[in-house]
Amino acid sequence: MKKQRKIIVGNWKMYPETSERAKEIFAAISRGVRGIKKTEVVICPPSVYLPIFKKSKSKIFSLGAQNVFWEMAGAYTGEVSTKMLSEFGAKFVIVGHSERRRLGETDEAVSKKVSAVIRAGLKAIICIGESERDVNGAYFEFLKNQIKNSLSGLRPADLQKIIIAYEPIWTIGKSYNDAMKPSDIHEMSLYIKKLLSDMYSKEIAFKVPVIYGGSAEVENAFSIMSEGQVDGLLVGHKSLVPEDFIKIVKAADVA
Ligand code: PGA
């Protein structure tokens, strides 16, 4: 099978605190990833910063948003539509991040958002992940339900427009020592692909990129992608540290 391009997504969350700093980080990353060939880099800043970066002509970079609403317009105070994000350069949208699910976002809302993103011609980075591991393996069932519900309503052709980001919540925002082990990541990515095969077909399922997130840092990036055999990483805190993020992108290019 043809090797897919790796995908490194930088999830800036609600950082940095000023647009000046955002520009500096973006410029440093842009300089550092020049020459990257086999990796797609997606930067997801807070959406108010998107217009600043829209003019970037880089072929390596794409822009993404961290959330969206499913309606196109209306009386929905505080929400932003796919069309608005798209106008300001977003090609991707992270949907169902655990930090949003913790604020009350349900699988049903995730599924509506995913459909809206795909209908708008954007790509959805759909986050799933268990909050804890139990000896009986109940997390397998939990993930199965999360995937089924978050993807409900998608037709087989829509799967070309999604990326699954597996982010075990207990590994997020720590250090590389606390990330999941590459062998376990491999097991989980196979499990996710098997679920998608059962829901759609093997052919379709194996084309859906599965990436890992949760304390991906310079120290573990290469082994997660090579031994863990995932298609890329969703990087949180280290995506705001240009020298580290650049090294992570370079690791993806050789993994
Ligand atoms: P982290 O965050 O890299 O800081 O663990 C990942 C994420 O929450 O997307």
Assigned domain for 107 exists? yes
Assigned domain for 1 exists? no
Residue 87 sits in a domain whose CATH number is 3.20.20.70
| Residue 194, C-beta contacts closer than 8 angstroms, at least 6 positions apart | 205
Pocket test of ligand 1: the residue of 8, 9, 11, 178 to mutate, having most ligand atoms within 8 Å of its CB, is 11
Identify the pLDDT of residue 118. 98
Which sequence positions are flagged as catalytic? Answer: 97, 167
> Judging by beta carbons within 10 Å of its beta carbon (0-12, 13-18, 19+), is residue 28 exposed, middle or buried?
middle
Q: Cα(46)–Cα(16) distance, rounded to whole angstroms?
A: 9
What DSSP assignment string belongs to 163-212? EEEE--GGGTTS-GGGSPPHHHHHHHHHHHHHHHHHHS-HHHHTTS-EEE
DSSP 8-state code for residue 3? P
Summarize pLDDT for 192-249 with one digit per residue, the tens: 999 999 999 999 999 999 999 999 999 999 999 999 999 999 999 999 999 999 999 9
How far is the centre of ligand 1, averaged over its atoms, from the C-alpha of 238 (Å)?
A: 8
- Structural domain count of the chain: 1
Domain hosting residue 63, numbered range: 6-254
Q: Cα(228)–Cα(220) distance, rounded to whole angstroms?
A: 10
How far is the centre of ligand 1, averaged over its atoms, from the C-alpha of 81 (Å)?
A: 24
Ligand 1 atom 7: the closest Cα is on which residue? 236
Distance of CA 120 to CAs 144, 183, 202, 205, 213, Å? Answer: 26, 36, 26, 22, 25
Identify the pLDDT of residue 60. 81
Assigned domain for 110 exists? yes
Assigned domain for 203 exists? yes
Give the global pTM: 0.97
Ranges under pLDDT 50 in the chain = 1
CA angle 172, 177, 182 (to 5 degrees): 85
Ligand 1 atom 9: the closest Cα is on which residue? 236
Assigned domain for 96 exists? yes
Assigned domain for 12 exists? yes
Assigned domain for 245 exists? yes
The finding on whether 68 has its CB within 6 A of some atom of ligand 1 is: no
Assigned domain for 121 exists? yes
Q: Given 3-state DSSP classes, what are the helix, strand and coil percentages for the chain, each rounded to the nearest 5? A: 45, 15, 40
